[in-house]
């Protein structure tokens, strides 16, 4: 089983790691975003007024960013946290990796 | 039938208005985004490494923004264009409405 | 004199075009952003707590985006408006140019 | 002396903490942003074509976001790192605080 908050290289190290409690919340949020995207397809298909469609695109984008923030928060609280607590070079690598992910989100 | 590029108040004015050619391109893009969102659900469900999931969230966000830009471009080229060509107060209202939509997109 | 809302190629066409009334408002906003940036330099220089500095970076970014929206709104209301009212191929070029500027702002 | 990467409450704990090496790089970047903002004032003042001014606004926004990312990276590498290494409730508080700062940056 892959773990979310650790690199998949040593999954045996902590077989219980993973999405835990927030998995349900993430999946619920993603299903809601999926519903928004399908709603957008209906809006385009029925020639809904463009500005209303754009408002729904903004709402879906915002919902996706909330997913990103939840993922990031729990990544910092678990993966980065554990790497730092364990000490060593892994900690720096985890911080650099997280910063790069944040940069991708800000430029998205 | 509602028209995208005109306010729905006078759909008779131009019954042919709507998404035209770019409708297919918009629907294809939105179906791809829907696939990305479903992929994200699988990633969370199978405890994919969080940073990889975040990379996919960034990609889906970027794809949604391309949808927004396509909608906006054709809104300016049709709806705002026609309101200005027709003259009158409608033109100013359309420009203000478009700016507000852009503001929502930038803050999303 | 260069005009903001028209391409500089034919400035004689409308020698009065330009920033008009909103010039003062734009300049006031930009001076406030400049003050925020200088405030940031002091914060870094005096080792202000990083999170407080980041909050100020967010505020300055938001202020810059308001400048962008004001510029864009008046660009649509004047330059794009006039190109469309004049008719011809210039109108399409102006809309495409505006969309590209919006795309740069969204990706900034 | 305030420290950037630690809360100012216990500055004695690590009197050497602060911006260190990256202080110069941050200040250089912020001075460049200040120059861009002053350049924008000249562009508005001389009625530069609006789209060119918008391009410069995008560049300044991007430069500010690079400052944000550098601040965030070193905040995670020092402040959050040290809080986690020290253990205790402070670690969770630091992670929550960092996530909130990232949320503000993404919504800026």
pLDDT in tens, A41-72: 999 999 999 999 999 999 999 999 999 999 99
Position D20 scores a pLDDT of: 62
User: Does the interface ipTM go beyond 0.90?
Assistant: no
Give the model's confidence band at D11: pLDDT under 50 very low, under 70 low, under 90 confident, else very high.
very low
Contacts of D13 (CB under 8 A, 6+ apart): D6
Q: Which of A19-23, A67-71, B96-100, C93-97 has the lowest mean pLDDT?
A: A19-23
What confidence score (pLDDT) does residue D10 get? 46
Q: CA angle, B67 as apex, B66 and B68 as ends, to 5°? A: 90
Q: Do B48 and A2 touch (CB under 8 A)?
A: yes
Which chains sit next to C, with 3 or more Cβ pairs under 8 A? B, D
Residue C31's pLDDT is what? Answer: 98
D26–chain C Cβ distance below 8 A for any pair: yes
Q: What is the tens place of the pLDDT at every residue in D33-84?
A: 999 999 999 999 999 999 999 999 999 999 999 999 999 999 999 999 999 9
Residue D11 has what DSSP assignment?
G
CB contact under 8 A, C105 and D61: yes
User: What confidence score (pLDDT) does residue A47 get?
Assistant: 94
Phi/psi region, residue D87 (left: phi>0; alpha: psi -120 to 50; beta: rest), is left
d(CA B89, CA A102): 44
From A41, A101, B29, D54, select the one nearest C103 (Cα to Cα).
D54
Residue B93 at interface with chain C, using a CB cutoff of 8 Å? no
Helix (H) / strand (E) element for B90: namely: helix B89-107
Residue B22 pLDDT grade (very low, low, confident, very high; cuts 50, 70, 90): confident
Please report, for residues C73, D20, D21, D34, the alpha-carbon distance to residue D38 in angstroms, rounded to integers and kept in the order given.
22, 28, 27, 6
Pick from A36-45, B61-70, D5-14: least confident = D5-14
Average confidence (pLDDT) per 10 residues, chain C, 108 residues? 43 49 92 98 96 97 96 93 90 93 90
Residue closest to C25 by CA, chosen among C70, C76, C78, C73: C70
Of C72, C95, C99, the CB nearest to B81: C95
pLDDT of residue B12: 43
Q: Which residues of D touch A81 (CB under 8 A)?
A: 84, 91, 95
């Amino acid at each position: 089983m892959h773990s979310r908050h650790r690199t998949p290289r040593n999954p045996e190290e902590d077989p219980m790691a993973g999405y835990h409690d927030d998995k349900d919340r993430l999946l619920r949020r993603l299903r809601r975003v999926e519903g928004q995207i399908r709603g957008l397809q209906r809006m385009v298909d029925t020639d809904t007024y463009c500005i209303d469609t754009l408002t729904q695109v903004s709402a879906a984008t915002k919902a996706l960013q909330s997913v990103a923030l939840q993922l990031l928060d729990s990544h910092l609280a678990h993966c980065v946290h554990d790497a730092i607590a364990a000490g060593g070079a892994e900690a720096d690598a985890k911080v650099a990796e997280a910063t790069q992910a944040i940069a991708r989100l800000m430029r998205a």
